[in-house]
Chains A and B, each alone.
Chain A
């Protein structure tokens, strides 16, 4: 099974280091579970028109140690629901990485990304080639390869399908 390449526009750039992802839907909204309500709250502090202007398959770009702090799941649930296909960041905080890979959210650790993209640039993540290409300005960056367990988790769609696939393989 091959992982589908990400191909979309840079819908937002969080350029700060140690970005707290809970801010995407707002700290006070962490207990909300209704996905439509969460989606309506996402990015309101940054761009109130966000849900209207993004397209399915768009990606988010982040800075170093993205997801630091005490990340909860609602923000990325909302972003996935809106159509965000993945996050490309300078680097990720381990807790956030583990949590979101287990949810099947593609994360791309790509040093140099902040200097290589502007909002609405068209980017492609080529999993097999190990590159992020900015189609708007032609820049190409290498990203850090996924551990095989992480790659299979993304291919299968998350933790539970990953474990099922592994246990079937082991029993075959």
Chain B
């Protein structure tokens, strides 16, 4: 019986002897990645010293800190948090990446998405590194363990394999694939497991799209997601990986908890209705709902192909009067490329509001909705209060559908604009 990618990676980082799903291991992360956020980094920095008497992390290059939330700051207190983070990184010799974009994307660009590596974060959306064959797990507050000792305690997760077959139709995007997985398999289908995505349809899904699918894995209950490295992923990671490691793939005879086949050929654009990510429907059944704002961005979106399709739809058209469309490229690198391609000017000419990357649109810190308002969004989540008032509503959908809704001021089928 073969091994899964997760079993192989965790065997390497927990001492080298083979491990199986269900084993409890002490695993040494190759990378410990966090962003500064009140209640997390400030508490960790304090607890390290006060509770554990640790004044320096060992191997500071294993750590990476991002400043991507509260960017730009709106209160002195927020800026104080960033100052504390800058000082801590300087004192520790830990790399700090500030205002480069959303950390989950920038860590990909910086090579932390090394195939075969084991990465931890407190935030589960780090799972998108799995698109490159990295095992990246969100530990919530248990991330403290990675700051006070070399290894973290972990139960080796089982893996559920999802084979994607067929090909996507125009106007259907990787995000729809993920929401479809939730619809078909359910929001607890991969509970405490690794969601491994494979199959022939992947050949037609870009790395950006794969990041979206892997980055949202938590809404199947998965602890992370992985895709076995292939020519498409290697074209990105070769020469970029941060450490020299042998890549890992699940064996063909790996012991999966379940194997599912999903055909994408008849898949339509999907809408995720409030109040939670399990509420997935065909967008075409919900055309016409009036919406006041739109968000194209987040760690699960806002990359080039999504900006491109939005620009294609909005070129020569106008965002409806009174509708607020926020298009926020996910990283500085993406923004520069989008500008060079003319995407940004197309979007701005159509009436979109755009800014440098920030996480803040996704959780309602800015572009905050009032009671009764409705938004279309490519953000990560649609629970009440996520983008402002608990009495506002969020409809998740792909980037093309957000652009179409921006034109009409109501939920619209993007396919008629393509």
A→B interface (CB under 8 Å):
17-18, 20, 22, 26-28, 30, 64-65, 68-70, 91, 93-95, 97-99, 102-103, 147-149, 159-160, 163-164, 166-167, 170
Contacts and interface: CB of A to CB of B under 8 A. Distances in A.
Contact of A64 (B47, B144, B188, B222): B188
Interface in B132-184: 138-142, 144-145, 148-149, 153-155
Interface in B263-308: 275-278
Given A68-B276, A102-B141, A148-B24, A163 B52 contact: yes
Interface residue SS majority, chain A? helix
B144 A20 contact: no
B384 interface: yes
Contact of A99 (B140, B187, B191): B140
A11 B41 CA distance: 36
B144 A159 contact: yes
6 nearest A-B pairs in the assembled complex, by CB-CB distance: A149-B153, A65-B188, A27-B390, A27-B385, A28-B390, A102-B141
A64 B145 CA distance: 29
Contacts of B140: 95, 98-99, 102
Contacts of B389: 28
Contacts of A20: 275-276, 383
A64 to B, nearest CB: 6
A26 B389 CA distance: 12
A129 B224 CA distance: 32
Nearest to B51: A160
Contacts of A167: 52, 148-149
Contact of A95 (B24, B144, B145, B218): B218
A68 B187 contact: yes
Given A102-B141, A163-B145, A167-B149, A95 B277 contact: no
Nearest to B144: A159
Select the residue from A64, A68, A166 with max chain B CB neighbours within 10 A: A68
A93 B138 contact: no
Given A27-B390, A164-B51, A147 B155 contact: yes
Contacts of A166: 149, 153
A150 to B, nearest CB: 9
Select the residue from B139, B141, B155 with max chain A CB neighbours within 10 A: B141
Contact of B142 (A17, A18, A30, A98): A98
Select the residue from B144, B148, B383 with max chain A CB neighbours within 10 A: B383
A70 B138 CA distance: 13
B381 interface: yes
B221 interface: yes
Contacts of B187: 18, 65, 68
B230 to A, nearest CB: 28
Interface residues of B, number: 36
A84 B5 CA distance: 40
Contact of A18 (B51, B153, B223, B278): B278
A139 to B, nearest CB: 24
A170 B155 CA distance: 19
A26 B390 contact: yes
B45 interface: no
Interface in B94-152: 124, 138-142, 144-145, 148-149
A28 B24 contact: no
B138 A95 contact: yes
B27 to A, nearest CB: 11
Nearest to B43: A160
A91 B275 contact: no
A163 B144 contact: yes
7 contacts: A20-B383, A27-B383, A65-B187, A94-B192, A148-B24, A149-B153, A149-B155
B24 A147 contact: yes
B188 A93 contact: yes
A91 B191 CA distance: 9
B104 to A, nearest CB: 16
Select the residue from B142, B278, B390 with max chain A CB neighbours within 10 A: B142
Contacts of A103: 141
Given A68-B278, A91-B191, A93-B188, A22 B145 contact: no
Contacts of A93: 188, 191, 221
A70 B383 CA distance: 7
B410 interface: no
A147 B26 CA distance: 13
B386 interface: yes
B384 A163 contact: no
A102 B142 contact: yes
A15 to B, nearest CB: 15
A99 B138 CA distance: 11
A96 to B, nearest CB: 9
Select the residue from A94, A98, A102, A103 with max chain B CB neighbours within 10 A: A94
A67 to B, nearest CB: 10
B121 to A, nearest CB: 12
Nearest to A33: B39
B19 to A, nearest CB: 14
Interface string B381-405: 1011110011000000000000000
Contacts of B155: 147, 149
Interface in B22-71: 24, 47, 51-52
Contacts of B191: 65, 91, 93-94
A98 B188 contact: no
